[in-house]
Amino acid sequence: MKTMVWWNLLKIVLIAFTLLTAFACTTAMEPTAVRTSYNSAADIDLFLATSDEDIENQALDRLKAHGVDSVQVKQFLRSTPLSNQNPVGVQSNLKLKINAKTYSYALYVPESAKPNIPMIVVMHGMGGSGANTIHKWIERLENKFVILCPTYPMGAWWSKNSENFVLRLIREIRAKYSIDPNRIFLSGLSNGAIGAYLIGMFYPDQFAGVVPIAGGITKRLMSFLVNLNNTPMYIIQGKFDPIFPIELTRRTYKILSDFKSPVIFREHKEHGAAHGGHFLPESEVPALVEWLTKQKRNTSPKVVRITREENHMKRVFWARISKGLKLAALQIPGPEMEPLNIHDGKIATLFAIDKGDNRFIVRGKNVLEFELYLSSDSIDFKKPVVVTFQSIQDKGDKLAPGEKFVAYNKKVEKSTSVLLRNFKEFHDKKFLYDAKITISTQNTVRFAASQ
């Protein structure tokens, strides 16, 4: 009897010990579980901050392993808050360091600025600066815009260095202030007008409008005006401009009009005291300001037309020429040391149409490879995507269509990598693409070129 009592007592003690041990282990493990819970936001931030491709891939692998999809990534990218502690008013001598070089710029943020205020970038002419440009524009725009006026040596806005400076500066200001990404404008006077044309033509999807004033471009550069087919232009130049021939601007206007691009051309007949007709008459300002207030970027045009050379191969809206046939490299050097890539060659042209219902028609000249970027806003990823391609060939003085064929016909998988890499390059929340398809046309284009 005593043996059974002791045996039952021993079982009770063992059960109690087991329960206490399990409880203690559970309690000890709880903080560890909290500490090791996955933080997808930290990996997205890490991916965007690093320049190391291995670290990028590791972050992408962790996102995939934890089932973080493009919907969740988009939510994070769109919800990133802005600081409201940045200064307002006129700031005339701000600095931006790019690599080892430091550049100046002037900035005006109205004290009455509300979230999603529009911004205009104004580039000065030779001998000017952002600081002596900004005050006139503050008067003209009457607190309706954030005004950004960069300074670059000799106003050489055609150089690759100055292009990088302008694009980087826009990104920096957008990261600090609540700028409406669909109402960013690019303008410039004289040399600044050249920059407005070139940066506008090569990056047309970044602007709601381009405003060149008292400046023009050469006939060879006019080949790239087709890129502005979805970007409104407002051109102002004097008939008696002694520095930039008015004939070049008239030709520019005709090309844009023939393309049915959205363009307004104001040819004034006024004479300035110092530079003849080479200036912006104040009488032209009210109509310009009214035009600016009405423009908004079209982020998803159904038709995208692209013309490219080797130094500018970025995506335009949802299409990209990724490889071309013996392309020219056109680059105009500036006053600073910069890597040069200049040689003769061809120009590549792409004409892409979104027909709806996952169908695309693409025509190309001197295009060896192109990419289409796809978003769940316009594509049904449960159905195949069909892309028909047709080459464009030179036949004497005329262009003739080549053979048409289905270049792509299958379902497309969403890719967090495509989404994050594209955002990292452009930092534009309005262009969040879930996937891309890459199509080679090399055999067709090379055969056409040999005919």
Last residue of a domain, one of 275, 294, 313: 294
Q: Are residues 415 and 325 in the same domain?
A: yes
Q: Tell me whether residue 267 is exposed, middle or buried, using C-beta atoms within 10 angstroms of its C-beta: 0 to 12, 13 to 18, 19 or more.
A: middle
Does 262 map to a domain?
yes
Q: Are residues 320 and 419 in the same domain?
A: yes
Q: Are residues 339 and 274 in the same domain?
A: no
Rounded Cα gap, residues 357 and 335, in angstroms: 50
Rounded Cα gap, residues 437 and 387, in angstroms: 10
Q: Which of 199, 193, 216 is nearest to 124 (CA)?
A: 193
Is residue 237 within 8 Å of 276, Cβ to Cβ?
Answer: no
Last residue of a domain, one of 268, 294, 320: 294
Domain housing 413: 303-450
Q: Are residues 97 and 147 in the same domain?
A: yes
Last residue of a domain, one of 294, 312, 345: 294
Q: Are residues 287 and 318 in the same domain?
A: no
Handedness of CA 250, 254, 255, 261 (dihedral sign): positive
Q: Which of 360, 350, 359 is nearest to 320 (CA)?
A: 350
Task: Tally the domains of the chain.
Answer: 2
Q: Are residues 412 and 344 in the same domain?
A: yes
Q: Are residues 257 and 340 in the same domain?
A: no
Helices (H), 203-337: 246-258, 285-294
Does 391 map to a domain?
yes
Is residue 355 within 8 Å of 387, Cβ to Cβ?
Answer: no
Does 58 map to a domain?
no
Q: Are residues 211 and 190 in the same domain?
A: yes
Does 57 map to a domain?
no
Residue 219 has what pLDDT? Answer: 95
Handedness of CA 215, 218, 222, 223 (dihedral sign): negative
Does 6 map to a domain?
no
Q: What's 267's domain CATH number?
A: 3.40.50.1820
Q: Are residues 127 and 178 in the same domain?
A: yes
Which residues make Cβ contacts (< 8 Å) with residue 17, sequence separation at least 6?
none
pLDDT tens-digit profile, the chain (451 residues): 444 434 444 444 333 433 334 334 444 444 444 446 899 999 999 999 999 999 999 999 999 999 999 999 999 999 877 666 799 999 999 999 998 999 999 999 999 999 999 999 999 999 999 999 999 999 999 999 999 999 999 999 999 999 999 999 999 999 999 999 999 999 999 999 999 999 999 999 999 999 999 999 999 999 999 999 999 999 999 999 999 999 999 999 999 999 999 999 999 999 887 678 999 999 999 999 999 999 999 999 999 999 999 999 999 999 999 999 999 999 999 999 999 999 999 999 999 999 999 999 999 999 999 999 999 999 999 999 999 999 988 776 677 788 899 999 999 999 999 999 999 999 999 999 999 999 999 765 443 333 3
Q: Are residues 208 and 282 in the same domain?
A: yes
Q: Are residues 338 and 290 in the same domain?
A: no
Does 364 map to a domain?
yes
Q: Are residues 315 and 289 in the same domain?
A: no
Does 245 map to a domain?
yes
Does 178 map to a domain?
yes
Is residue 300 within 8 Å of 313, Cβ to Cβ?
Answer: no
